[in-house]
Amino acid sequence: MDKNYFDKPVKIEDSRFRYDAFKDGKVLYGKKHFPPMGWNSWNAFGSGNTEELTKAMADRIVELGLDKLGYQYVVLDDGCYGAERIDGHVEGDSVKFPGGFMAMSDYIHGKGLKFGMYNDIGSRLCSGLEVGTCGYEDVDTADYIKWGVDFIKVDNCYNVWDNATFSDPENARFTFAPGIKKIVLENGQEKIELSAVKDGIITGSRAYKEGEYIVGIGTFDGTAPDASPIGELSSELRFKVNVETEGEYDLTVICKTGKTEGIGSWLQAAVGEGEKTEIFYDDLVEVSDDKTEPIKIKLAAGENLLRLMNHRRQENTLTSYARIQEGFAKTGSDRDIVFSICEWGKTHPHNWGYKVGDTWRILNDITFQVGSDGDSGHASWEGAYTTSVTAQYNKAVIMDEFAGLDRGWNDPDMLMIGMDGLTETMNKTHMTMWCMMNAPLMLGMDLRNVTAGDAVYNIITNDELIALNQDELGVQAKRIYTTKAVAPDTTYIRDNDRLDVLAKPLMDGSIALSFINVGMGDRPDTLSIKPNLIMEYLSGKMVDAESFAGAERYEVKDLWSKEKKIYDAKEINEKGFTVSSIKANDNVTLRITPIYD
């Protein structure tokens, strides 16, 4: 490996990996898949997973008939590798996986299931083992192809160029621009001085004024639940520059550099935007007497848009994940591999993840209290941080516009059904939320504790809920109503004392409508959702909106109680689809099918 590989991020030569290309809708690598279903070892066993336990889980998937419902991927998470590379290759932990990964793959495939593995774009795995894929992308992807991998989950710990989990906090120098006070433009004939605070224009929501400086020019850390996923989450400082003469100018930036959250040392300087963007500087800056060395830029006569920014937090992460997909492409294999991006929403992958992945995690782990052999681990319905069902739901539920068959899926992490801490009601609503939101359905329990016909089994095998998740139309549900009286589809709400209504269009022309009590108390409210409200939010996403609106009757089936009723359309148009008195953490989920005589 090149000894300078870890000095700083690679130069980005391809504009398709740039921030300005995030909204172009162009997929760079990979075939898109429906939300994956299966079992992942982490919530059940943490780093204590073994070959024996994994075989037992594969056996149970088949014994319980879960495979027939779509649960097909068996994924080894962190803790399966040996402590170091052998001749540059990763190998299985010789105690936990004595048979090796090829034998593990053969066993799982022999069951008619699919084999998944794990790695990290950093120098180490989250467990600390120094076998991260950074710098070894070609080697590792060739090995994964050899082992017959069908699914790969790739984490973001020890990110070499970001202050990610367990990384050097001083790596913030790569992810933020310097604090900027002023710019000077000169070409020998003209000299223009512009104040960052008085003349600059801040875009996005990350940057802010601090005295005479604009600081925080970079990207919000999305790992915590604080920032809404909606809006421009990476800021720039822009100037409208008028010059008399076309040609080359020296740009000097008066600034202060740093290595902390908000003030870094990496600067991007560009003129223009979109496809017309020309980047003139993209590197760490050296500052003397609070001034950068002159940066050569080109300006046209008249008005120019000068942009000072640092989008490298997102661009670097996209590039790192793309290297793995490039590695798979280099093998020449046509193996169909689901690519799961697991960087916990840190760089807002809902903006760029579709370019290289099938799914992208939206927050940190849903639980940090994972299980072990004989211990089921602990789950929470709500909590102050990300470790709960509702923390994940509250963010994912307003991210529907970022998902789809042509993009991929928001991933609010693995299901915690079957872990301690959740009631049967909570488990049912947890399942409903994930199915309505097209989230991956990755079981995270010890399946030896599940018996056919028990409460957990009945929840994870609700085929009509699974059908919503796997519906061929591939549209994530949209929240069309909430008792918080805000814009329901775009407002990030963390106060759980509320009722939500989600609507999801389906391929056969039906609508799934889910009434959810997010809070911990019973609600006496009566909610009535009329067809015109559904149409207001979903008409452009429905197979045949006019036919739904013009139905003569509606068949309404409760997907949990299985109760089915027929309603006259006139009654529904007047009174709406009505649900009353939802218990704490409970839901009522309906499949509404239009009927024509």
CB atoms within 10 A of CB 545: 17
Contacts of 414 (CB under 8 A, 6+ apart): 40, 42, 43, 366, 440, 442, 443, 444
**Chain segment 53-94, per-residue pLDDT in tens:** 999 999 999 999 999 999 999 999 999 999 999 999 999 999
Please report the pLDDT score of residue 5 as a whole number. Answer: 67
40 within 8 A of 365, measured Cβ to Cβ = no
Please report the pLDDT score of residue 415 as a whole number. Answer: 98
With a cut of 70, say whether residue 4 has pLDDT above it: no
Task: Locate the DSSP E strands across 433-586.
Answer: 441-443, 478-482, 499-505, 511-517, 523-529, 553-558, 564-568, 577-582
**Chain segment 210-250, per-residue pLDDT in tens:** 999 999 999 999 998 888 999 999 999 999 999 999 999 99
More confident residue, 166 or 1: 166
Q: Which two tokens stand for residue 371?
A: 């299980």
**Chain segment 480-528, per-residue pLDDT in tens:** 999 999 999 999 999 999 999 999 999 999 999 999 999 999 999 999 9
Q: Evaluate if pTM is beyond 0.85.
A: yes
Per DSSP, the three-state class of 126 is coil
How far from 422 is each of 166, 176, 323, 431, 462, CA to CA, in Å?
Answer: 30, 40, 39, 12, 18
b/e sequence 286-302, b meaning 16+ C-beta within 10 Å = ebeeebbeebebebeee
Compute the average pLDDT of residues 318-326: 97
Please report the pLDDT score of residue 503 as a whole number. Answer: 98
Compute CA 183 distance to the chain's CA centroid, rounded to the nearest angstrom: 37
**Chain segment 578-594, per-residue pLDDT in tens:** 999 999 999 999 999 99
How far from 156 is each of 132, 175, 220, 497, 542, CA to CA, in Å?
Answer: 9, 15, 16, 33, 37
The amino acid at residue 72 is Q
**Chain segment 106-140, per-residue pLDDT in tens:** 999 999 999 999 999 999 999 999 999 999 999 99
Q: Which two tokens stand for residue 392?
A: 């994940």
* Percentages of the chain per state (helix, strand, coil), in multiples of 5: 25, 30, 45
442 within 8 A of 40, measured Cβ to Cβ = yes
398 within 8 A of 230, measured Cβ to Cβ = yes
How far, in Å, CA of 513 to CA of 480, rounded? 10
With a cut of 90, say whether residue 163 has pLDDT above it: no
Q: Which two tokens stand for residue 292?
A: 């950068």
Q: Which two tokens stand for residue 21?
A: 């290309």
